[in-house]
Structure 1
């Protein structure tokens, strides 16, 4: 699987009576078997204030790649895809509990994430061979 883009952003209200401004969206664009796919992960924005409880990161941006700051919302969809390869068959995921979000981050080898973003910045893509490479248990 060739990862092309990992990005996250805060949703904004499109209409006054909607609740988009309570949510963030994280996206990962990748190519698998010659087909470009995108996984969208929608989650409650408040969880961005909690990420230091289940990751080693203490503040946003969580790390720097060149002059670009990588934020927590930039990694959420990538981590979900790594932790649950079945998500390759999905386009959208909605996470509404901190327990569910935390479960995707358990066992992730956080030291390898900057390597992915560095390749995205320098080579415009990263070849993800096996999601198991990014789990701490597989060391």
Structure 2
């Protein structure tokens, strides 16, 4: 698997009567078996208030990767993909509860993430076994 890029952003309202501004989206683009794929995870912004329940971090930004400040919304998709590679078959995941978010990260070793993201920042991609 070749990780090409990752990013996260806050959704914005497209119409006055929609709820997009309550959600964040995280995305990781990768190549697997010669195919370009993207995994997108959308979750409620409010979940970020409980970072320490899902991760070893307690506030944004979480850490630096190269010259980039990495926030929680940046890592959700890539950490999920690294933790649960079988989800590479999915395109989109909508996380409805904190327990779903905890499940995506369960057992993941976040101590490796800064080095992984640093490599992506420096090399513009990272080949994983």
TM-score (norm 2): 0.95
CA distance in 2, matches of 1:54, 1:40: 18
Mapping 1:1-139, distance limit 5 Å: 1-129=1-129
How well do the aligned residues superpose, as a CA RMSD in angstroms? 1.0
1:84 to partner: Cα distance: 2.3
CA distance in 2, matches of 1:47, 1:83: 19
Residue by residue over 1:82-130, the C-alpha shift from the partner in whole angstroms, topping out at 9 and shown as x without a partner, is 232221111100001000101122211111001111111110111121x
1:136 corresponds to which residue?
none
CA distance in 2, matches of 1:123, 1:68: 14
The runs of 5 or more residues in structure 1 that have no matched partner are 130-139
The DSSP-based 3-state class of the residue aligned with 2:17 is coil
The DSSP-based 3-state class of the residue aligned with 2:24 is strand
CA distance in 2, matches of 1:117, 1:13: 30
The runs of 5 or more residues in structure 2 that have no matched partner are none
Alignment length (residue pairs): 129
The DSSP-based 3-state class of the residue aligned with 1:114 is helix
